[in-house]
Structure 1
Amino acid sequence: MKYRNRYCKKAKNTYPLLVKCTNCKNKIFLYQKGGKGNLIKMKVDKIISSQSSIAELPNRINCPFCNAPIANLAQYKGEDYYWIIRGSVMVRKIDKKI
């Protein structure tokens, strides 16, 4: 991954997820997920690394390889989240330490 998030810190009971684009199958994010369930929204602080820079918080994230829309920025309980567009990503749990 190209860009590391300097604000990301390891939290208890979390595991890394590899997020890929559905269209081109390229890796886009490495995300720190906690709990059960599907990936619906991504908290900006928990993105470990990404292919495109998220430092300026763009309103929409597109795949850097095929330019397909991936997620939209929104506020939820006073914090910034990227809401995943349904069917645009594939996720896989990886077994390495952060």
Structure 2
Amino acid sequence: MAGYGQTKKKGPVRTVQISCLQCKAPIFKYRKGGKGALVKCFIERIVEDHTTTVCHCPGCGQEFARETMIRGAPAYKMIGGKVHMK
């Protein structure tokens, strides 16, 4: 079992599609844990990355997240109301 402050090696099995709310362009395919809203994306859990510029939509170019460190792991902190998850 993973120690305190470490994510599990395999990670969650539920994969979600994250797209831009404004232009509907696909952004990520992500292994999400839990059933709540999408607040952060750990970079190691991203399965497919459609972005060309970090944290900016490939379609309309708006910023949808900010780069940060969460519990020692690099992650993207989502800006509310910018992305849609299904």
* TM-score between the two structures when normalised by the length of structure 1: 0.72
Asked if the contact 1:43–1:82 (Cα under 8 Å) also holds between the matched residues in 2, the reply is yes
Aligned to 1:89: 83
The aligned counterpart of 1:28 is 27
Quote the Cα distance in structure 2 between the aligned partners of 1:82 and 1:62: 11
Give 1:70-85 correspondences, 5 Å limit: 70-85=64-79
In structure 2, stretches of 5+ residues that fail to align are 1-8
Q: Does the alignment pair 1:68 with 2:68? A: no
Q: Give the corresponding residue for 1:48.
A: 47
| Code of the aligned partner of 2:17 | L
CA distance in 2, matches of 1:46, 1:64: 19
Root-mean-square deviation (Å): 1.8
Segments of 5+ residues of structure 1 without an aligned counterpart are: 1-8, 93-98
SS of match in other structure, 2:24: coil
How big is the shift at 1:14?
2.6
Larger proportion of strand: 1
Instruction: Give, in whole Å, the separation in 2 of the partners of 1:53 and 1:89.
Output: 16
Partner of 1:14: 13
- The answer to whether the 8 Å contact 1:14/1:35 transfers is no
Count of aligned pairs between the two proteins: 78
